Chains A and B, each alone.
Chain A
Amino acid sequence: EAGVTQFPSHSVIEKGQTVTLRCDPISGHDNLYWYRRVMGKEIKFLLHFVKESKQDESGMPNNRFLAERTGGTYSTLKVQPAELEDSGVYFCASSQAPIGEQYFGPGTRLTVT
């Protein structure tokens, strides 16, 4: 069984540019989460999809971040326009059950210069 995959693994962009991150969850997992770890601090929740619906987006920092999960399969997280403080590692995780193990992807390291 393939694990959670994320693309790209690294992205370096300039302030003001746009970046789109992609996450492919484990097949059959309805729950998909985005998290972010900034500068070696804790991993912070961004949002949660159940199938194609946003269940909870209380962790999204501001309206420069837009997440989608069309068709309830893969998800994208777009940052537009990017700011310096958006730098960090963005993790995607998926789970089958609402409460239980979340399987993490390898992360996308975003650097905004």
Chain B
Amino acid sequence: GENVEQHPSTLSVQEGDSAVIKCTYSDSASNYFPWYKQELGKRPQLIIDIRSNVGEKKDQRIAVTLNKTAKHFSLHITETQPEDSAVYFCAASGSARQLTFGSGTQLTVLP
């Protein structure tokens, strides 16, 4: 089955700096890659996703890149703000519809 690895597990950045979180996946059949943000005590919420026919997608301060050959994808957050502090999960999905999640990254944006 699919295996997703996520790095780093914790990340601290100064407000205004950029944050990058990286994930690798094992199943070459995976074709959908969402990123979820989970604030403390709240539900995971989708912040951006990318499908395998696209190499990059951007939504304001958030961008995701996908390298299918290398089987890795990354989340980029620019101009970070304190409200970006949360746990971020990458995930992969393919013929098996369920999401296989990475282990999560605790992002802390320092004011």
Contact = CB atoms under 8 A, between A and B. Distances in A.
Answer yes or no: do A and B interact.
yes
Interface residues of B, number: 23
Given A41-B103, A42-B104, A43-B101, A56 B43 contact: no
B89 A102 contact: no
Contacts of B46: 101-103
B97 A55 contact: yes
Interface residues of A, number: 26
Contact of B32 (A41, A58, A99): A99
Interface core residue of B1, B4, B97, B103 (most chain A CB under 10 Å): B97
B101 to A, nearest CB: 4
Interface stretch (A12-20, A73-81, A104-112): A104-112
Contacts of B97: 31, 48, 55-56, 98-99
Interface string B19-38: 00000000000011010100
Interface of B: 1, 4, 31-32, 34, 36, 42-46, 49, 89, 93, 96-104
Interface of A: 4, 31, 33, 35, 40-45, 48, 55-56, 58-59, 91, 98-107
